[in-house]
């Protein structure tokens, strides 16, 4: 009943608190921002179910131990980590690679009008955009973001000059690797100046089953009339407790498309905080999540319409849950009093494939303006029997019919990506997931249904 109970510090909390002074001394730059963020963490602790924003993801319970902050990898470790091909980067795509949260290499040639500075270098040498990191406070005291700010080691500052149209995506490849579990804190700031057009793709890869603890944050600041496309792919290590945050500030008449595809990781949470600071902006925020085993994935979204005309936001989250996995969608659309003419539509649909799967939906609206249209819809249930029957009556096996339905269900969220090769890669990954499911079903174990 009481909200004032301060739980005892967990082992992870104590470890983080003990670690901070030494880490702070060794990390360059933004000392006061780090300290403020850390103070916020000390005051609140790791979020539990008592914390409304984390109601369905008990981070304190999931993160029993705080993995040590990863040191800069040596050359041998880098070679091992980057051995395989990146799932999203293809020939000719500018790719920045990060191993355990540290920048290691850039492949490809930077297009004209784009500058990229590794964050560690920017923090040491100074950078004109450094002051904009976290300055807009879009995440509004969120704990994952506070921890990232306190511990950020490296990352990138990307600047796209006014009016520049960047051909092809800029890829960020984050790999967590090593013999023991590590924590990482990478931070990316991308400023897309007025009228520019750019696509940013991130892949988060973790090898093996270790319980790595990556915590990444990407901030996008889009100037007036900028067109930004963003894709995030979560392929964390099987045991990972992975946090990731996207913040986006939209100037007037900007357009943002962001698609998050979450596939692996024991406990993952991707959160997006999007603010419409200029009038008449447009955003499409999507999520496609496929879960099996005992995975838990959380998609949290806050969209704030803060300008007039309020612009248009569309959110589509599709979740497939198999075995004993659990999915979470928490979405909130806020319409400020002056953000008239806002048009917001949020939908979360989940399909539960197994009897013991669980889905938690919390689609919230907070509206202070009277001339707006906001809608939210949330559904969850099994695959539609009638559709299944229709397909099977045409000679398609049950397994195939299910696969077709699942593919089209999550595909709807992926199809908003304009860039065809990337879209195809993501569809391919969904098919891989379906094949793994088919293999599990054929083996007769360990599914529960």
Partner 1 sequence: MPAVQETIDQVKAIDVSEYKYGFITDVEMEKPAKGLTEDTVRYISARKNEPAWMLEWRLDAFRRWKTMTEPSWARVHYPEIDFQDIYYYAAPKMNGAPKSLDEVDPAILDAYKKLGIPLREQEILAGVEPQNRVAVDAVFDSVSVVTTFRAELAKAGVIFCSISDALQEHPELVRKYIGTVVPVTDNYYATLNSAVFTDGSFVYIPKGVRCPMELSTYFRINEKNTGQFERTLIIAEEGSYVSYLEGCTAPQRDENQLHAAVVELITMDDAEIKYSTVQNWYPGDANGKGGIYNFVTKRGDCRGKNSKISWTQVETGSAITWKYPSCILRGDGSRGEFYSIAVSNGMQQVDSGTKMIHLGKNTTSRIISKGISAGRSQNTYRGLVSAHRKATNARNFTNCDSLLIGNQCGAHTVPYIESKTSTATFEHEATTSKISEDQLFYCMQRGLSAEDATALIVNGFVKDVLQQLPMEFAVEAQKLISISLEGSVG
C-alpha distances (whole Å) from 40 to each of 184, 208, 367, 431 are: 19, 33, 28, 42
Q: Rounded to an integer, what is the distance from CA 392 to the centroid of its chain?
A: 36
Provide, rounded to whole angstroms, the least separation between the CB of residue 406 and partner 1. 13
Tokens 């008239």 belong to residue: 340
Window of 103-111, 163-171, 222-230, 375-383 that interacts with partner 1 by CB under 8 A: 375-383
| Closest alpha carbon to 212 in 187, 186, 243 | 243
Return the number of the residue (77 or 322) whose C-beta is nearest partner 1: 322
Q: For the segment 39-78, give every residue that binds partner 1 (CB under 8 A).
A: 52
129 part of the interface to partner 1, by CB under 8 A: no
Count other C-beta atoms under 10 Å from residue 332's C-beta.
18
Q: How far is it, in rounded angstroms, from Cα 94 to Cα 231?
A: 15
362 part of the interface to partner 1, by CB under 8 A: yes
366 part of the interface to partner 1, by CB under 8 A: yes
Provide, rounded to whole angstroms, the least separation between the CB of residue 321 and partner 1. 8
131 part of the interface to partner 1, by CB under 8 A: no
Return the number of the residue (23 or 378) whose C-beta is nearest partner 1: 378
| Closest alpha carbon to 186 in 231, 142, 243 | 243
Provide, rounded to whole angstroms, the least separation between the CB of residue 371 and partner 1. 4
Q: How far is it, in rounded angstroms, from Cα 212 to Cα 234?
A: 13
Q: Which residues fall within 8 angstroms of residue 445, CB to CB, at 6 or more apart?
A: none
Provide, rounded to whole angstroms, the least separation between the CB of residue 346 and partner 1. 9
Provide, rounded to whole angstroms, the least separation between the CB of residue 353 and partner 1. 6
Provide, rounded to whole angstroms, the least separation between the CB of residue 159 and partner 1. 38
Among positions 363, 426, 433, 437, the unique one binding partner 1 when judged by CB under 8 A: 363
Question: Do the bridges between strand 213-222 and strand 241-250 make them parallel or antiparallel, or are there none, so unpaired?
Answer: parallel
Provide, rounded to whole angstroms, the least separation between the CB of residue 366 and partner 1. 5
Return the number of the residue (80 or 405) whose C-beta is nearest partner 1: 405
Q: Which residues fall within 8 angstroms of residue 423, CB to CB, at 6 or more apart?
A: 414, 415, 417
Question: Is cis: bond before 44, omega within 30 of 0?
Answer: no
Q: For the segment 379-408, give every residue that binds partner 1 (CB under 8 A).
A: 379-382
437 part of the interface to partner 1, by CB under 8 A: no
Here's the x/- map for partner 1, 332-361, by CB under 8 A: it reads as ---x-xx-x---x-----x-xxxxxxxxxx
Q: How far is it, in rounded angstroms, from Cα 423 to Cα 405?
A: 18
Which residue ranges make up the site for partner 1 (CB under 8 A)? 1-4, 52, 335, 337-338, 340, 344, 350, 352-382, 449
């Amino acid at each position: 009943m009481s909200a004032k109970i301060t739980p005892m510090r967990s082992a992870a909390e104590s470890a983080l608190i003990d670690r901070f002074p030494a880490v702070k001394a060794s990390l360059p730059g933004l000392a006061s921002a780090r300290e403020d963020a850390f103070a916020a963490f000390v005051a609140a602790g790791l979020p539990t179910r008592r914390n409304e924003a984390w109601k369905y993801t008990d981070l304190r319970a999931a993160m029993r131990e705080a993995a040590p902050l990863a040191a800069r990898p040596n050359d041998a470790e880098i070679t091992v980590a980057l051995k395989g091909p990146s799932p999203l980067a293809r020939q000719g795509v500018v790719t920045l690679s990060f191993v355990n949260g540290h920048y290691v290499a850039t492949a490809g040639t930077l297009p004209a009008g784009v500058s990229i500075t590794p964050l560690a270098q920017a923090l040491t040498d100074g950078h004109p955009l450094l002051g904009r990191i976290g300055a807009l406070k879009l995440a509004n005291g969120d704990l994952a973001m506070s921890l990232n700010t306190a511990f950020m080691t490296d990352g990138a500052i990307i600047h796209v000059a006014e009016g520049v149209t960047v051909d092809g995506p800029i890829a960020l490849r984050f790999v967590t690797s090593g013999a023991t579990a590590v924590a990482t804190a990478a931070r990316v700031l991308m400023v897309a100046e007025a009228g520019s057009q750019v696509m940013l793709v991130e892949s988060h890869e973790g090898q093996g089953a270790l319980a790595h603890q990556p915590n990444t944050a990407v901030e996008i600041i889009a100037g007036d009339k900028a067109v930004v496309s963003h894709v995030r792919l979560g392929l964390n290590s099987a045991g990972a407790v992975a946090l990731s945050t996207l913040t986006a500030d939209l100037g007037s008449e900007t357009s943002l498309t962001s698609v998050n595809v979450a596939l692996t990781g024991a406990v993952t949470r991707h959160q997006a905080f999007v603010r419409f600071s200029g009038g008449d902006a447009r955003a499409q925020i999507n999520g496609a999540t496929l879960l099996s085993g005992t995975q838990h994935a959380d998609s949290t979204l806050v969209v704030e319409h803060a300008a007039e005309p309020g612009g248009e936001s569309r959110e589509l989250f599709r979740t497939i849950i198999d075995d004993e996995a659990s999915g979470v969608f928490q979405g909130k659309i806020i319409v400020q009093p002056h953000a008239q003419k806002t048009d917001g539509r949020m939908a979360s649909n989940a399909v539960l494939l197994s009897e013991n799967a669980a889905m938690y939906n919390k689609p919230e609206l907070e509206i202070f303006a009277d001339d707006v249209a906001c809608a939210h819809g949330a559904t969850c249930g099994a695959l539609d029997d009638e559709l299944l029957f229709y397909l099977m009556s045409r000679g398609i096996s049950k397994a195939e019919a299910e696969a077709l339905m699942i593919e089209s269900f999550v595909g709807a969220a992926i199809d908003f990506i304009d860039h065809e090769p990337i879209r195809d890669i993501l569809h391919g990954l969904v098919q891989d997931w379906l094949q793994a499911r088919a293999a599990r079903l054929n083996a007769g174990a360990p599914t529960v249904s």
